Structure 1
Amino acid sequence: MPQGATATMSNVSLDRRAWNIRRKALLMGEVQGQGYIGQALGVADVLAVSYFHALNHRPGDPEWQGRDRFLLSIGHYAIALYAALMEAGILPEEELETYGMDDSRMPMSGMAAYTPGMEITGGSLGHGLGIGVGMALGLRQKGSDAFVYNLMSDGELGEGSTWEAAMSAAHHDLSNLICIVDFNDQQADGPSTKMLCSEPLDAKWEAFGWYVQRVDGNDIPALVAAFDRARTLSEKQPRVIICDTRMCKGVPFLEDREITHFVRVEPEEWAKALDVLEQGKPQ
């Protein structure tokens, strides 16, 4: 556990943290009757390991200068990050029912000006990694030992700005930059690999000078090992963890839907989804 995080966080298993994040995301989706719930369920394990194992942060002081920065490049994943921020105690859980409403601190697309713990406003895809490069350079100039984490989608691999940032990070030997790619192979128009295939992805990142790991993004022990390796690597190079995740993970009847990028959930199915999730509740 990073020294800046509260000790009480270690009392709950990472499996349970991920389950709690999924549940909170479903409850928020039920409030609006919609949301990018497939992504939230799929990336919950990555967020649990990020906030409750890897990140150095203080829940009561989200602006603490010594914190690791977690950038949500994919603004439409905001429902997932809000759930993680609530689970971490950065956002009060009582605000859950305000999700997406007027004057809420949790708009449907993430905005840094609204939400404690939201480091950047993610919108047009492909900008998060470039911002992360700037932050990593700035922190190094300050002599900070903080890390910058950038969570991005596989769809952003089709953006030229992503690869410009990747090249720049390697040029500057940014060993304090860790990119996390959520590879769920889904975009608005269909599978990512059919829209603009980025494979062989490991080899591409390596060619750009990055230390690469690829793991099952729904396997918590594998994620823990990958994050630990990324943090402790001695080589002076940026690090990327490619996480292969399953959309709607934890709710099988939603996992089986053909279209999961913006999965359609009928009004009566929210309660069903919560019931199904409850059946798999970990200790």
Structure 2
Amino acid sequence: MLSENLNVAAKQIRLYTLKELQALGFGHFGGSLSIVEALAVIYGKHLTVDLDKTGDLNRDYFVLSKGHGGPALYATLFLKGFFAEQELYTLNQNGTRLPSHPDRNLTPGVEMTTGSLGQGISVAAGIAFGNVLAGRKNYTYAIVGDGELNEGQCWEAFQFIGHHRLDRMIVFIDDNKKQLDGLTADIIDPLDLEAKMTAFGFEALKVDGGSTQAIDEAIQMAKRSSGKPYAIVLDTVKGQGVTHIEEKADNHHLRPNDADKQAIEDAILMLENDLEGVAQ
């Protein structure tokens, strides 16, 4: 069960993200680990989601637009009771309900199939707009990647969201400074994301994406705001929470060598010991 203590929840999500990727033997470590704290706060405190009422039109919606972060979302959904732990270890294998990128037709709790970068945020915008037209007061949360913002479709979606003043939409930008091909600053410099989102009609705030407290406070601020959508720029590190992976240049998708495997095993053991201490 996902802990109500947000720091503990983050440790739980990080642990099971590592364990499922370790079981597979390769995968998207970097961009999964960098959104762990955000997922802990969203699912641990703010998202109204009921396992028995997934079709309730008044539920909150969450869209992981950067679909390669799927392993972290799967770990979160497991901890929220959407499927059993053993299913985590079928990640990206034949017959699984947990493909490399989330699929709404396969995975319980997934609202939108993502992986084609840029498309998730467009659908999230449509969900939020549809809820406004229907007079509903639920929230739509979405996480986009900083590399994903190379896609022009993201900015079309942001323009739509800002124009329609969708103030019950909260967009998180995972600013982990890297993408598949290298540093975002070297490939297409994103410049000042907070200023850009403000220019697109959002209230915007940059926070420490490794701090559950900072993320929680930003969401609370967003919910007190009205008249504009809210963008929370998460200052994160790719591979966040596992120093060995953070320090690797090519940490978007790993096929771990022996040193990587040992570091992952050490991180898993440390998290298990930490969580065991909490339980006691």
Q: Same fold (TM over 0.5)?
A: yes
Report what 1:185 is aligned to.
Answer: 177
1:239 aligns with 2:233: no
Q: Indicate conservation of the 8 Å contact 2:24/2:90, yes or no.
A: no
CA distance in 2, matches of 1:158, 1:257: 23
CA RMSD of aligned residues (A): 1.7
Q: Indicate conservation of the 8 Å contact 1:251/1:277, yes or no.
A: no
CA 133–140 in structure 1, closer or farther in 2 if over 3 Å, else same? same
1:263 aligns with 2:263: no
CA distance in 1, matches of 2:47, 2:107: 18
CA distance in 2, matches of 1:134, 1:249: 31
Report what 2:196 is aligned to.
Answer: 204
CA distance in 1, matches of 2:251, 2:65: 20
1:123-154 superposed Cα distances (whole Å, 9 cap, x missing partner): 21111221111111111111111111111100
CA distance in 2, matches of 1:233, 1:53: 18
Report the CA distance between 1:193 and its aligned residue: 1.5
CA distance in 2, matches of 1:189, 1:95: 31
CA 93–110 in structure 1, closer or farther in 2 if over 3 Å, else same? same
Q: Indicate conservation of the 8 Å contact 2:127/2:140, yes or no.
A: yes
AA partner of residue 152 (structure 1): V
1:83 aligns with 2:75: yes
Alignment of 1:150-189 (within 5 A): 150-189=142-181
AA partner of residue 262 (structure 1): H
Report what 1:63 is aligned to.
Answer: 55
TM-score between the two structures when normalised by the length of structure 1 = 0.91
Report what 1:250 is aligned to.
Answer: 241
Q: Indicate conservation of the 8 Å contact 2:179/2:252, yes or no.
A: yes
Report the CA distance between 1:70 and its aligned residue: 0.2
1:104 aligns with 2:96: yes
1:51 paired residue among 43, 67, 76 = 43
CA distance in 1, matches of 2:152, 2:84: 37
Report what 1:92 is aligned to.
Answer: 84
2:134 paired residue among 113, 138, 142 = 142
Report the CA distance between 1:17 and its aligned residue: 0.7
1:60 is paired with a residue whose SS is helix
1:208-246 superposed Cα distances (whole Å, 9 cap, x missing partner): 111101101001110110011112212x11111110111
AA partner of residue 237 (structure 1): K
Q: Indicate conservation of the 8 Å contact 2:7/2:212, yes or no.
A: yes
Structure 1 runs not aligned, ≥5 long = 1-7
Report the CA distance between 1:37 and its aligned residue: 1.5
1:275 paired residue among 244, 249, 269 = 269
AA partner of residue 59 (structure 1): L
Report the CA distance between 1:32 and its aligned residue: 1.1
TM-score between the two structures when normalised by the length of structure 2 = 0.92
AA partner of residue 51 (structure 2): P
Q: Indicate conservation of the 8 Å contact 1:48/1:84, yes or no.
A: yes
CA distance in 1, matches of 2:269, 2:111: 33
Q: Indicate conservation of the 8 Å contact 1:57/1:64, yes or no.
A: no
CA distance in 2, matches of 1:90, 1:232: 30
AA partner of residue 74 (structure 1): K
1:76-116 superposed Cα distances (whole Å, 9 cap, x missing partner): 11111001111111222231221111111101111111011
1:31 is paired with a residue whose SS is helix
1:53 is paired with a residue whose SS is helix
Range moving further from structure 2, 52-61 or 237-246 = 52-61
CA distance in 2, matches of 1:161, 1:198: 15
Report the CA distance between 1:266 and its aligned residue: 2.8
